[in-house]
Amino acid sequence: MNAAMKTMRDVFIETLFHRMHKDKSIFFVCADFGSPKLDALRQKFSDRFVNVGIAEQNLINVSVGLALERYAVYAYAIAPFITMRCYEQIRTNISIYAQLRDVNINLIGVGAGLSYDVSGPTHHCLEDISIMRTLPNIEVFSPCDCGTVEKLVDYSIKVRRPKYMRLDSKPVPLIYDNLSQTALQNGFFEIIKGEAVALVSTGYMTHKALSVAHKLAQDNISVGVIDAFSLKTLNEHLFYETIEQYQSVITLEEAFINKGGLDALVSDILHRKHSDIRLITMGIGDAHVFNIGSREHLHKMNNLDEESIINNIRGA
């Protein structure tokens, strides 16, 4: 599939649509949130498609009920609403119950980070990495492109555990032509091997990390880029072996920093390894984003633009 510049949700739904032809165990449940690709799935598999309406708490309850009947269930809604509006239901009915019994329920949240840039703070999703990582028994994925998303579909069908997948709402360029199964299981991939400084990014910020690395390469500055797409089940031993070659690591996330997100994941690994690698964290500070404008404008207002990243690299 040529997934270049498609939206993650379209690729996810289209891939799942093809899998549903052969796998009768797959159910799709949504909270009155559509997409062009979803129309075909709803029409073809009307017996395995449920729209609960704008009721995310009920979305979780219905999905858990189906998962307890051994179905592979996909609950689909806007990212801030599928995580925060029904957090108690996720905690009680998924996180706690999954410690007692295998349930394959997959939460698909669209609109990670600032991808709904002009919709304001109610539709920004900057807390989800932190709050979902807090819950036991739920894997958290933050893919950077549609190639990763396509691989995650098959993983999500096969692995009978709860998962949360935060998808960007905008079309994104393809980074991975064919992400290996091994890399997917490791939870990260070193896209560029650098010298003194590595950018560890997740989701959309991996595109920005690559752009910065390519610009600095023109000045003969070699910066590593590591895409962390699993934020809960990442292979920590292999990850540390990858970053220990660097003197400094800069984490990039479209999320609140110092709140338990990607920066905390990396910091915890460095702490447990008694590492002296310098860690610089970049993301959104301790304030909601009320500015209205393009994503790039919001990044610049929050010191997450390429110039700010480059300044941190030069000072590392």
Question: Which sequence spans correspond to the domains of the chain?
Answer: 8-167, 181-315
Q: Rounded to two decimals, what is the model's pTM? A: 0.95
CATH of domain 181-315: 3.40.50.920
The answer to whether residues 12 and 167 touch, using CB atoms and an 8 Å cutoff, is: yes
pLDDT per residue over 106-149, tens digit each?
Answer: 999 999 999 999 999 999 999 999 999 999 999 999 999 999 99
Among 13, 42, 18, CA closest to 146? 13
Q: Do 8-167 and 181-315 agree at the fold level?
A: yes
> Which CATH number fits the domain 8-167, given the four candidates 3.10.20.30, 3.30.540.10, 3.40.50.300, 3.40.50.970?
3.40.50.970
The answer to whether residues 192 and 224 touch, using CB atoms and an 8 Å cutoff, is: yes
Per-residue pLDDT at 315 exceeds 90: no
Q: What's the distance, CA 124 to chain centroid? A: 14
pLDDT confidence tier of residue 36, bands split at 50, 70 and 90: confident
